[in-house]
Amino acid sequence: AQKVTQAQTEISVVEKEDVTLDCVYETRDTTYYLFWYKQPPSGELVFLIRRNSFDEQNEISGRYSWNFQKSTSSFNFTITASQVVDSAVYFCALSPIYNFNKFYFGSGTKLNVKP
């Protein structure tokens, strides 16, 4: 069975603070993809990153970084020096490589960045 857990329902930080959003997944597959999506107040989901299970290198993109640890089945997302525009709901998702049409989403973490 596939499952993605985002235990943090809502997080509030003050601008310029760093914040980490947790994502833990369950899968019996050895090969899969992991994703992060951002859903701003406008509602549309925006693709942020894809990581395949072969590659455990951390990735950094500007203020965003992702830590993938296969040993703990986690794919955490860190925003450095948060900004008000980062306020959104963030979703983690899992997709088995054998069936790219099936995405399993976590329940999302709402991030509030206050000025």
Partner 1 sequence: NAGVTQTPKFRILKIGQSMTLQCTQDMNHNYMYWYRQDPGMGLKLIYYSVGAGITDKGEVPNGYNVSRSTTEDFPLRLELAAPSQTSVYFCASKISSQGIGYTFGSGTRLTVV
Whose tokens are 């069936």? That residue is 99
Neighbour-count burial for 48-58, b at 16+ CB within 10 Å, e otherwise: bbebebeeeee
Out of 33, 73, 80, 112, the residue judged to bind partner 1 by CB under 8 A: 33
Query: What value does the CA radius of gyration of the chain take, rounded to a whole number of Å?
Result: 14
Question: Minimum distance between the CB of residue 17 and partner 1, rounded to whole angstroms?
Answer: 24
Strand partners, 25: 4
Per CB under 8 A, does 81 bind partner 1? no
Per CB under 8 A, does 107 bind partner 1? yes
Per CB under 8 A, does 79 bind partner 1? no
Per CB under 8 A, does 45 bind partner 1? yes
